[in-house]
Chains A and B, each alone.
Chain A
Amino acid sequence: MQQVFKKSSLLTDTPFHYCPGCTHGIAHRLTAEAIEELGGNQGVIGIAPVGCAVFAYNYFNCDIQQAAHGRAPAVATGIRRVCPDKIIFVYQGDGDLASIGMAETVHAAARGENITVIFINNAIYGMTGGQMAPTTLIGQKSTTSPAGRTAELQGSPIRVSEMLATLDGAAYIARVSLHDLKSVIAAKKAIKKAFDYQVAKKGFSMVEVLSTCPTNWGMSSEASMDYVKNEMTKVYPLGTFKEIGL
């Protein structure tokens, strides 16, 4: 019998705990597949964030460090000094990366840390129950912006990819989405490329993944995909923002 598909060996057999319609599972799978497709046997170390993906250490089949909220890029920096030749990936959500951990993110990029960051932007705090994130859209309701976010009251959403692309240490920065099959395929390609940059020791690489949170958005899975496609991509345009060349 011809085998046409198999689960990445970089994923464990533990079932994901994520809510129905959440795209964390797809992002995990793409990350695992991209690393596996690099070939070679360099060894992999992952860093799990605080947030819904805190249990990433249960899912990725490699050595993993769980980091304090927002500190994953600093933890990765420390690991990198001890392990100069391993694949190191950081998996963070928007609250973790762009709010409490913004300084660690910016400075890891500025130092050109040779690490790959998978940045899940679902415009909300998932695990804590739907509070406003730095990436929450104008007008979007959350438990801490119950009337909808306004620029006057809560400030405007932060476009992290565009911001990091201005830094010389950033080698590859792209924003992708997971709202349909075509976008998933494009996301996979971008994530693979980010790891190619790391293997080539070119510096900091990050892929921002526009993601869903049906539970805290109060939407069906299908409506959540449409929200990403129709609303989020307007504020967060897809594309490559930095690519220094391999």
Chain B
Amino acid sequence: MSERILMKGNEAIAEAAVRGGCRYFFGYPITPQNEIPEYMAKRLPEVGGAFIQAESEVAAINMVYGAAGAGGRAMTSSSSPGISLKQEGISYIAGAELPCVIVNMVRSGPGLGGIQPSQGDYFQSVKGGGHGDYRMLVYGPSSIQEAVNIIYKAFDKADEYRIPVMILGDGVLGQMMEPVALPDAIDVSALPKKEWATDGTKSGAERRIINSLYIEADVLEGMNNKFKALYEKLKAETAHETYLADDAEIILTAFGITARIAKSAVDLLREQCVKAGLIRPITLYPFPSDVYAKYAAKKNVKKFVTLELNLGQMVEDVRLAVNGKKPVEFYGRSGGNIMTPEEVVREILKRI
């Protein structure tokens, strides 16, 4: 760990990715994530890696497919409309069991929407997004330091499970500056060799095929079941944070930047003698359902209020986890608007 330095979110994430072993980046300009490809264009050649500004988001994710399939630690980043374009490629990457890292600095939508922060891509991140039955490991960091720590380890996680890993950020996380401590760079030459990678060194019975086509229904069902088992195993990565939740009567729940607002709101509510607490999922898939189930079963908990920068997406997973045991309410802002802690306090006071 180095000393703490002040960095913009997008640049800190890019540097942490390089230190985590990323050597191949394929991107396309879109606000508010442009600093990531710009940083990579300068930085990757310094470490013997490669950066390409692709002709489209579609091409960029397929370049990731090729590089990841050849054994490289590959990454792309984009923002919502660009991530929509990548969904076909992400589905292929999941189907072909390739490891990669994708950063989505979410902007508001639908359509061209706006360039201001949003959490409107929750559904397309945690429910698959592209066609077919697949999942990604999805993180929703709430600070630049947390995003740095997550992306630094994301390539290891992607390799371990052979799965696409997504960092679901937002315009705030990408654009704001915070003090961060950057981890030391790993030695990429010491990484284990990927025997499954098509690096052009094998033929005959030993040759490798990267593919997601299984024309026989039984064979494909076998693959689908293999993925199901993988996603079960992935539950070991589930992560969350709780804050003043143990004696809470009202539990706020939020991810990413909204969770920091919620945390401030919890403090303000506690000052007014309202027993509020917070559950913050760090992994959005797998979702920390057990934590919600645990708190839902507690006598002191009267209700949950989910806070999001959208019209209500994660709240559906919260409801599934709470399973009718306690009321689950929702408050959200959209269009690029961000709620204030005071606004959250007003909303909560109306509900008790």
Contacts and interface: CB of A to CB of B under 8 A. Distances in A.
B294 to A, nearest CB: 42
A82 B213 contact: no
Contacts of B26: 78
Which residue, A57, A74, A86, has most C-beta atoms of chain B within 10 A? Answer: A74
Interface stretch (B12-20, B68-76, B153-161): B68-76
Interface in A103-129: 103-104, 106-107, 111
Contacts of B92: 67-68
Interface in B186-219: 198-204, 207-213
Nearest to B50: A81
A71 B204 contact: no
A43 B52 contact: no
Given A71-B58, A74-B63, A63 B198 contact: yes
Given A81-B52, A81-B67, A86 B59 contact: no
A61 B66 contact: no
Contacts of B207: 61-64
A64 to B, nearest CB: 5
The B interface, classified by DSSP as helix, strand, loop or mixed, is: mixed
Nearest to B26: A78
A63 B208 CA distance: 5
Given A45-B199, A61-B207, A65-B210, A82 B67 contact: yes
A79 B67 contact: yes
A62 B203 contact: yes
B24 interface: yes
Most buried by A among B52, B70, B204: B70
Contacts, number: 138
B55 interface: yes
Contacts of B59: 71, 74, 77, 103-104, 107
A77 B66 contact: yes
B280 to A, nearest CB: 35
Interface residues of B, number: 40
Contact of A74 (B24, B62, B71, B211): B62
A75 interface: yes
Interface in B2-52: 24, 26, 50, 52
B274 interface: no
Nearest to A86: B200
A47 B63 CA distance: 12
Interface in A56-107: 57, 61-68, 71, 74-83, 86-88, 103-104, 106-107
12 contacts: A47-B66, A57-B211, A62-B203, A63-B199, A63-B201, A63-B203, A64-B207, A68-B65, A78-B72, A79-B69, A80-B66, A104-B55
Interface of A: 9-10, 42-45, 47-48, 54, 57, 61-68, 71, 74-83, 86-88, 103-104, 106-107, 111
Interface of B: 24, 26, 50, 52, 54-56, 58-60, 62-72, 74, 88-89, 92, 96, 198-204, 207-213
